[in-house]
Structure 1
């Protein structure tokens, strides 16, 4: 159950006013602070989601296995928990600015209203930062933009405006900015609903198109090729978002644009990504054979060793669909390929779309695969429990995916009450993340348990499903 944010902040304020906590702050002993917080009901997961410090790293601080030294770590900790001024001073940190842009809701929701231009700036900055962009960082960046500060990057917009009217002005810095923006949209996909981003990515694609239309069709022009690749990567993501909220006509058009870009830039990895995104639609409808066929084609067109993370993603999805089809042998074979590729993968340094495929997402595919292999449901649940405990509150898309798979597995095993309880928890994650694409998974569970609707867990789940569907306006595709 969600904790009231004011109550949570009151707890933090009381803890940081304690003498033992202030002494721990003076010695910069995060381990001691975490132990004190824990005794007052503040979990490492809550700290992780608000500070952006991985829960595993917090555990190492708590046990003394690792001792933080960088000031940036203490800043993130203090800012994330909104530490009061006395505790900050004790830790040797400057007082936080009065004009603190961070919303006072603990970072659980992105409330700052942003228009398309704001999000274009946000995407550019997210791409520039690279790596995994934490939700709290996005809240602060969004609020900064909302205050009209624009990161001091006005020169980029001036160069873009000039290049759109004077194509010869397209240069390396401008192309790199457009690439960073494309990468940034993939980062934002992890922390913001697709509906909030769709208009902005269309504006980005329009600017890329205008630049490309003004340039000569020269296959030897490397800058032009890079812009085409950015357009392809952005079109794939925009198509994915369009399908998420049910605009299949727009999704098809955007996917076709991505295919043309992949062909013109001789970049088949874009096509492999496109096919992987497409595979989710038939999977949600129970057409696992069609989904696996798309993934088989994706693995075929992906050049060897071009993108280890993409190969790991495709093979893991292939294992999921094979397991759903009851093909145990192929599922384990594909999973072995996924593990081999993931062992050498670096999602943050791979293609723009691979930033999402970290250890937690890899584990969610393993959960789905094992849940459909006889005798491995217990192992799937064990992995799921560990994974959900390790992710932050902002990673509700992952939670929805995992709980939907586990609920479906319990239904196949005839565990009606357990399937309903887990599915209800999954629906809460769907609503939190606005991840409508995953609703059909829960609708299938609902069909399976409907005949037992007089049971309390089933009735509660079905009522929750009706509420969730009303939130999204209609049944998901």
Structure 2
């Protein structure tokens, strides 16, 4: 893809409009195929992977003009996407920076990995002048030595693994489960080795928590891939880790994930029981983002039972807890639970209850979503298509279905897939086959091939 076209992609333009360079960097990584790893991009920018992870996830954006200008030059961000101008003082500081990197168009047949190696050379990240002594004590080298040579784990290695764990949780919202699985299982293997080389509680305890977080995410990927029994086995292992480490929030997260598996099997009663057990693990004001998510999930399942009073009360609890939540910083799994995602739970609850505000809420939610928020967009489009069919607005349903199927297949969002298949099943029994047959066939042909 020509560089000019690359920067015109919707995800990158949307990230630039947020005026948060960390989010622009994350979008830059994830729009590429395969996605650029944090370690690679950090090398190009001359920072550590841990620093890049914090920049991407930070609530407050970087405001240092020298850094912003340097990073924009390295990545060749077009001027029309930038929201800042270099001040005279910043220009003077840039005089001592390395020459601007030149990115050549790849030769025909040259793959992304080759192009990235050229970039690494151009950026000079080999840093030969740094000296072998400095490189030998670099955090990533200590991590390798801990894995390969049995070096005792130190706090810097723990911090590096925490950043990697957070990056995997962030990436899973933009990358299909089948593409994530190998990276996550390798991460688990690394954690297993490091736990064997952790000599103190200071290093062992956080590694054990990361192992639990990783197991929980692997369980979710199993669920996303339709391997429910393996998901349940993995979550059982996660609950044991949560018990051994005393991490009640991890137990709550695991039980809430398990509720999706029960719900997908139409075991609504067991799903609600799992969610109430999860809620008991985060009482009072503890873990407000996790608590808000659990209450919103409970509202969804209660609405499927037709218990409107209990469902709306659960939604009220979700909104109350969200007022105190800091999803980006609470735990690695809460970053997804933005106000838009809470809105998504509200829409699905309203839909199940046939609430009169369901369509208005769904349209408002879809309009507010960032182009990079693909999983939430898939779910919202599936819900809107279902609402259009319910109101017999088949023209609108047909207008929505292409986008709904495209983003669902592209992201592998199992919740959206399940809702569209449920819609197709309902269309089979619809009394107006001329209006619904093509829609049903399109859903089934796309999702079952």
TM range (shorter): 0.7 to 0.9
Q: CA deviation at 1:431?
A: 1.6
> Stretches of 4+ moved more than 6 A in 1?
113-123, 140-146, 150-154, 413-417
Say which is worse superposed, 397-406 or 418-427, in terms of deviation: 418-427
SS of the equivalent of 1:352 reads coil
Q: What's the Cα RMSD here? A: 4.1
Asked if the contact 1:424/1:461 (under 8 Å) is kept, the reply is: no
Match of 1:449 among 412, 421, 427: 427
Which TM-score applies when normalising by structure 2? 0.72
Task: Summarize the Cα distance change of 1:425–1:165 in structure 2 as closer, same or farther, 3 Å threshold.
Answer: closer
Q: CA deviation at 1:168?
A: 5.8
1:354 equivalent in structure 2: 334
Q: Structure 2, unaligned stretches of length 5 or more?
A: 62-70, 77-110, 127-134
Asked if the contact 2:14/2:371 (under 8 Å) is kept, the reply is: no
Q: CA deviation at 1:457?
A: 4.7
1:112 equivalent in structure 2: 34
The total of aligned residue pairs comes to: 382
Deviations 1:129-161 (A, max 9, x none): 342799xx9xx7997997144977993331112
Q: Distance in 1 between matches of 2:161 and 2:50?
A: 8
2:290 equivalent in structure 1: 310
Asked if the contact 1:127/1:185 (under 8 Å) is kept, the reply is: no
Asked if the contact 1:364/1:398 (under 8 Å) is kept, the reply is: yes
Q: CA deviation at 1:423?
A: 5.1
Q: Distance in 1 between matches of 2:38 and 2:323?
A: 38
Q: Structure 1, unaligned stretches of length 5 or more?
A: 13-45, 58-67, 81-101, 472-477
Match of 2:250 among 270, 276, 279: 270
SS of the equivalent of 1:52 reads helix
Q: Distance in 1 between matches of 2:377 and 2:173?
A: 12
Asked if the contact 1:371/1:406 (under 8 Å) is kept, the reply is: no
State how 1:81-230 maps to structure 2 within 5 Å. 109-112=31-34, 127-131=53-57, 147-148=116-117, 149=120, 155-164=138-147, 169-215=152-198, 221-230=201-210
Q: Distance in 2 between matches of 1:283 and 1:334?
A: 17
Task: Summarize the Cα distance change of 1:283–1:225 in structure 2 as closer, same or farther, 3 Å threshold.
Answer: same
Task: Summarize the Cα distance change of 1:300–1:126 in structure 2 as closer, same or farther, 3 Å threshold.
Answer: farther
Asked if the contact 2:232/2:258 (under 8 Å) is kept, the reply is: no
Q: Distance in 2 between matches of 1:119 and 1:322?
A: 44
Q: Distance in 2 between matches of 1:125 and 1:195?
A: 28
Asked if the contact 1:417/1:457 (under 8 Å) is kept, the reply is: no
Task: Summarize the Cα distance change of 1:293–1:411 in structure 2 as closer, same or farther, 3 Å threshold.
Answer: farther
Is residue 345 from structure 1 mapped to residue 267 from structure 2 by the alignment? Answer: no
Q: CA deviation at 1:323?
A: 1.2
Asked if the contact 1:130/1:348 (under 8 Å) is kept, the reply is: no
SS of the equivalent of 2:319 reads helix
Match of 2:381 among 390, 399, 403: 403
Task: Summarize the Cα distance change of 1:159–1:288 in structure 2 as closer, same or farther, 3 Å threshold.
Answer: same
Is residue 383 from structure 1 mapped to residue 361 from structure 2 by the alignment? Answer: yes
1:300 equivalent in structure 2: 280
Which TM-score applies when normalising by structure 1? 0.69
Asked if the contact 1:316/1:334 (under 8 Å) is kept, the reply is: yes
Deviations 1:278-322 (A, max 9, x none): 111232333322222211111112243221100110011111111
Q: CA deviation at 1:222?
A: 2.5
Match of 1:50 among 13, 21, 30: 13
Asked if the contact 1:279/1:292 (under 8 Å) is kept, the reply is: yes
Q: Distance in 1 between matches of 2:303 and 2:164?
A: 37
Deviations 1:340-390 (A, max 9, x none): 10011111111110000001111101111122234x23x222222122122
2:90 equivalent in structure 1: none
Q: Distance in 2 between matches of 1:404 and 1:270?
A: 30
Q: CA deviation at 1:50?
A: 2.3
